[in-house]
Each structure stands twice: as C-alpha cells, then as structure tokens.
Structure 1
Amino acid sequence: MNRVQDREREREREMGMTPWLEDLVPFAAMVMVECLDVGLTTLSKAAMTKGMNHYVFVVYSNALATIIFLPLFIFQRKKTPPPLSFSLLSKFFLLSFAGITLLQNCVFAGVSYSSPTLGSAMSNLAPAFTFILAVFFRMEKLDLRCSKGQIKVMGTLVSISGALVIIIYKGPAILALLSHSGQNTSYPLNPSSAPKILRATSNWIEGSLFLVVASLSFSIWNIGQAAILERYPSKITILFYYYFFGTIQCALLTLIVGEDSSIWALTPDIELISVLYSGICGSAVVFSVLTWCIKMKGPVFAAMFKPLGIAIAAFLGAIFLGDTFYTGSVIGAILIVIGFYGVIWAQSVEGKAENHGVANGLQQASPQTPLLESQTHV
C-alpha cells in the first residue's frame, strides 16, 4: 500500500501539480480573467466620466499593447520567420479594423453612454451573432431536424430578444425595488427634470446600440480570425500586426473626429492608470491566461465563465461608479445568458460527437471552432 502511494506521489510530482490543483487553477484563472476584463470597462468608464476621450483611450491602450508584443515579434522573426505577403498583411489590416477600430471604439462608447454592467451583459450576444455569421458563410452546420440545431436557433433568438428588452425597456431601478418604492427612479415626477431624463434615456439607448454593434463586430472579427489562423498559425505575428494596424487606424480616426489637440493629453491619475491597465492587463495578461486555460480545459470551459462578468460588473459599478442596475437590464441579461448557454451547450455536444470523445478537442479543425472561441477575448 505504501509503495502504491509513493508511486502516486511521484507521478504527481512529475506532473508538476496535484489533480485537485489541476482543476482549481484553471477555475481561479478564469475568474481572474473575468475580473480583469470587467475591471477594464469599469476603469475606462471612470476615466471617460472624468473627461477622457474614448478614441484617445483606444489609441493609447493599443499602442502600449503593440510595444509589449514587439520584443516577442522580433524574437520570433529572428528564430523562425514565417513568410508574409501583401495579401496576408491586408487581412491583418481588416482584422484590426473589425476587432479594434470598430469593436473597441463601440465598446467604450457604449460603456461611456451606459454602464460596465450593460457592456458585460451585451457581450454575451457574441455567440448568437457568430452562429448566424457562421451559418451564412457555411462554416457552421445547421440541421433543423435535429434537436441540437433547434436549440441553437432558439438560443440565438432568446439572446437577441434579451438585447431588445435591454434597449427598449429600462424599467425601475433595483435599489428602488429593494426599498419597496414603487416610483421609477428613471422617471421622477418633477417636470423640470424632464429634459435631463430624456437625455439619460437617449444615452442608454445609444449605449445599448453601440454595444450591439460591438458584439456583431466581435463576431465578424472572430470569423476572420479563425480563417486566418487556419492558413497562418503564428499567433505572435498576428497579434503584433493586429495591435499595430489597430493603433494606426484609431489614431487616424481620432485625428478626423477629434475636436482639438488637447484631447491627447493624459493626466497622471485615473486616465493614465486606465491606459496602463488596458495595455498590460486587458491585452497581454488576459490573452495569455485565457490561451493557457483553453489549452488546459478547452474553449467551452472558458466560454462558460463569461456571464460571471455581469455580476462582477454590477458589483464593481455599484461600488466605484455609483451605477444602478435596472429591472430591464436584469430581465434582458437573464434572457441573454439563457440563450448563451443554450447555444454553447448545443455546440459543445456536437463538437464532442464530431471529435469522437477526443479530450478538449483543442487541436481539431472543425466548423465549431469559431463559435466556441467567440467568448475567449473581448
């Protein structure tokens, strides 16, 4: 008996970690990823509330990410330089446009108009939009005669319905409900405050629409990323050009829409902190940890943690920004999460069937890959 235990301990030492730790570390890592991701939107909201231009924020954060990946890119080019062509660089350029210029600007514009909580809720629309695009481009199989195909369609419709609820119906504030107040805090009785109320409602709708466009942009980026990775597997090279081209595009966009040169000034407080946080934690750290978790547990495992961001965002927003969570947001978020899990569950079951039980299915090239990866990085 002692010899058996000794062999098991020796095997665990060779593996580098105990079995229970092997399960705990990826779990803790994904919770950390969600905290860092929501922390980014919370900090950016605080910086933009103070007056920081969101276009400038995107430029600086991506410029910092480019600098971080530059040494890795140079080292890789010296070691095993993958061939580059004008066609490939053009694809990197378009990928940056979808994933940075359009996606990030819409995300931060939406958060500035609404709240980080709404941003986290709307990000769960990505699987639904990715599924629609994947079917359109014939990267995803859809069999309506199969129950899993019907679940994917229903999940997509439920998620989109949840987004419409958030956009159309704001409802009373949760805090007002908890205090047994029947008054809708979004619409006080004071007539003199009506213009301010209309502006707040308009901003909420605009923010929601920006976030919907951001989720659609992310889905387009994800489909394009999957297609490029099939032909060019060097992730470091893709990331470097992704951030590099995104920085150039956003800088040009800021010069076009910017009011004056004063918007480029960074104050050494929450503005500088948010930029550093975005470039270091929001790009380098989150992507690295997320990639490791996907290799350890698979893309479905990583995707299952995304709705956790809604609760984290609501908690951080209430503490640091004084945000209020509204009834419409709660109802819409619940619908989006239900649809999210429906699509992900059906997709994972089909993926397991096609891969014949291969563990994680990480290295399998299948039509399911784009959808499952749609929640790996926002």
Structure 2
Amino acid sequence: MGLKAAAPFVGMVMAECAQVGLMILSKAAMSDGMTNFIFVLYSNALASLILLPSSFFLHRSERPPLTFPILCGFFLLGLFGWLAQIFGYAGINLSSATLGTAMLNLIPGLTFILAVAFRMEKLDWRSSSSLVKSTGTIVSVAGAFVVCYYKGPPLLMAPSTSNLPQELLSQQQNWIIGGLLLAVDCVMASAWLIIQALILKKYPAELIVVFFYCFSVTILSTIVCLFMERDPGAWSLKPTVRWIAVVYSVSSEKIFIFFM
C-alpha cells in the first residue's frame, strides 16, 4: 500500500485521536462550570473568525457561485452540526469522556445505514464488502448500547465521603441519560456527514463550506445562549481550562477533522 492510499486511514486515526483529546478537555471545561451551549458558541465563533479570511482567499480564483439552495444547505449542515454538538457535550457532561469516545463507534454504522437509505451506498448481500459493513454496523450498535446501559466498577477506587444508594442510583441514571444523548449525537453526526457529502458534490470549496458551517452554528448558538444563559459567570473563559478547550476544539474538530 502506497503513501497516497494509506493517507485516508492515517487521517482517520489522527482524527480519532484528536476527538478523544477534545472529549477529555470539554469534559474538564464543563466540570469547571462551562455549559455546553457556551462551549459550542465560543468554539464555532473562533473558528468562523479564523476561516473568514483564509477560506475566501484560498478560493479566490475558483469559487463556485453562492446560490440560495447552497446557502440553505449550509444552514441545514449547521443545524445538524449544532444539534450534534449540543447533545454530544451534554452527554459527556452527564457521563464521561470515556463513554463519549466509545459511542463514536456508532457513527460509521449509522452513516452506512443512512447512505443506504439515501441510495448513496449499494447493499448487495452477495458482496463480501456489504456483508462486512453490515456486520460491523450491527456490532458497533450493539457495543454502543452495552456501554450505555452498563457502567462497570472504577479501576482506581477514589476516596468517597458518601456512598449513599441514592447517589449511586443518580450516577447510574446520569450515565444512561448521557449515553442516550450521545446516541442522539451520533445520529445527528451521521446525518451531518451525509449532508456534507451532498453539499461538497455541488460546492467543492471545502474551506468555504467549513466557514459557513461554523458561522451557521455560531448564529444558532448565539440565539439560544441569549435566552438560556442568564448567568454572566457562564460566559467567562476562566479558569484556563475553558479557553484551552475552546482553542483545541477549533484546531482539532472544526478544521483538522473536516479534511480527514
């Protein structure tokens, strides 16, 4: 296998590693009081500011025309991306970064199902490729539900001041609710990938697509945050882990992963 053929696989591995880091940092930021709405707003707003000059500069010579249907597609992409991020970070906040990372395995299987439904992928039971994809989809979905409904004992027992049954039950409920929210995140992310593929076929200027996606998410997040976040402290980027998580989100998820 040549370097060119191996590039997509290497890119996917790097993207997964970047996503794991984002899960951990976002969990740390939200544990320090940052809400998922504010986190999504800041990360997409920063990405929009970075991409605004670079996207139009790099595509200044070959820039497809921006038509109304294309702009509607950008907004639809932003809507599904916003929903995926909101549900995803809410699920991580209720459960853990470990569960969030494990639930990512749902996305390829769900994307395959949606691709078949929209006739972007052919399902031929006589083909070994289709059988492997179908088996992988079933295994990934089953595994995701197992980790969602089962929380094993901690590997390192931390000292606890209270082990009341009510608290343990509450933690288990949060784990299940968080897992279900992460499952919704995976569904939205799969739909986002399908919409992204359709848009890129009609508008192959990747950076401009990324910019309008982030800009749409920023608009949606701003509207929601103005109604949801009444506490001025929620808008603060202190302590340091908050702005580190935002900057990392921009560098990994918004820009790096899109091109993998």
Q: State the TM-score, normalizing by the size of structure 1.
A: 0.62
Find out whether 1:51 has 2:33 as its counterpart: yes
- Aligned mate of 1:127, from 104, 108, 112: 108
Report the Cα offset of residue 222 of structure 1: 0.7
Distance 2:11 2:149 in 1: 36
- 1:50 to 1:251, Cα distance in 2 relative to 1, 3 A: same
Cα-to-partner distance string for 1:20-65 (whole Å, 9 max, x where unaligned) = 9989998877665443322221111111111111110110000111
Aligned equivalents of 1:137, 1:25: Cα separation in 2: 27
Deviation at residue 166 of structure 1 after TM alignment = 1.3
Query: Is the Cα–Cα contact under 8 Å of residues 142 and 149 in structure 1 kept in the other structure?
Result: yes
Alpha carbons of structure 1 residues 147 and 280: separation in structure 2 relative to 1, 3 Å: closer
Query: Which residue, 172, 177, 190 being the options, matches 1:219?
Result: 190
Taking a change above 3 Å as real, the CA distance of residues 218 and 167 of structure 1, as seen in their structure-2 partners, is same
**3-state DSSP of counterpart to 1:79:** coil
Report which stretch shifted further, 259-268 or 113-122.
259-268
Query: Which residue does the alignment assign to 1:249?
Result: 220
1:116 aligns with 2:87: no
Q: Name 1:75's counterpart in structure 2.
A: 57
Over 3 Å counting, the alpha-carbon distance change for 1:32 and 1:260 in structure 2 is same
Q: Tell me how far apart the structure 1 counterparts of residues 11 and 119 of structure 2 sit (CA, whole Å).
A: 34
| Residue pairs, 1:1-378, within 5 angstroms | 32-76=14-58, 78-99=60-81, 101-175=82-156, 193-284=164-255, 286-287=256-257, 291=259, 376=260
Q: If you compute each CA radius of gyration, which structure gives the higher value, 1 or 2? A: 1
- Give yes or no for contact 2:94–2:177 (8 Å, CA) kept in 1: yes
Higher relative contact order (CA 8 A, sep 6+): 2
Aligned-partner Cα distance in 2 for 1:148–1:273: 42
2: distance between equivalents of 1:164 and 1:207?
Answer: 12
Aligned length: 258
Equivalent position amino acid for 1:96 in 2: G
> Match of 2:228, as an amino acid?
V
Unaligned runs of 5+ in 1: 1-18, 177-184, 292-375
Alignment RMSD: 2.8
2:44–2:217 contact (8 Å) kept in structure 1: yes
Q: Is the 8 A contact 1:133 1:219 kept in 2?
A: yes
5+ residue gaps, structure 2, are none
**C-alpha deviations, 1:220-247, integer Å up to 9, x for none?**
0111111111111111111110111111
Q: Distance in 2 between matches of 1:43 and 1:123?
A: 16
